[in-house]
Amino acid sequence: MRSDKAGERARAKQRNSMQAEVPAAHPVDRHIGQQIRIRRIQSDLSQSDLAKGIGVSFQQVQKYERGKNRVSASMLYELARCLKVPVAIFFEGLPEPGTGDLSQIAAKVDERVAYISTTEGRELIGYILQLPPRVRSRLLSLVSVLIEE
């Protein structure tokens, strides 16, 4: 009985040490993952649908979207093909290499993605898209003025 407890403690310690060694996702990987998620949601695709379209599991798509797994150049190309967007769109919003702080960019996108991912966010976007372009423009002006106050 004692050896079972000691063995379990050793296994738990090993699991914890393995978890501690996993590096945090690079800000560029997180940004690209968030862009994938935004484009997937805009295309009204589930993670499973996108996974089928690019030939991977939905769990792999989840890892790409979180930035936990890096997206290779060929996979980025396949994602762009499936989502019908140019490859460069995944890099929009990133500063030129060596010219900016990537952590601030990722934080701004996190908030937008988090909101778009909610039922309220998708519902709001759906309603806004039903408005004529001129009314949308006026609504944007109104929101801008409200934020300034």
Return the exposure string of 110-121: e unless at least 16 CB atoms fall within 10 Å of the residue's CB, then b: eeebeebeeeee
pLDDT tens for residues 4-35?
666 676 666 666 555 555 567 788 888 899 89
What does pTM read for this prediction?
A: 0.63
pLDDT tens for residues 88-122?
999 988 877 877 676 666 666 667 777 877 778 88
Mean pLDDT confidence for 35-60: 93
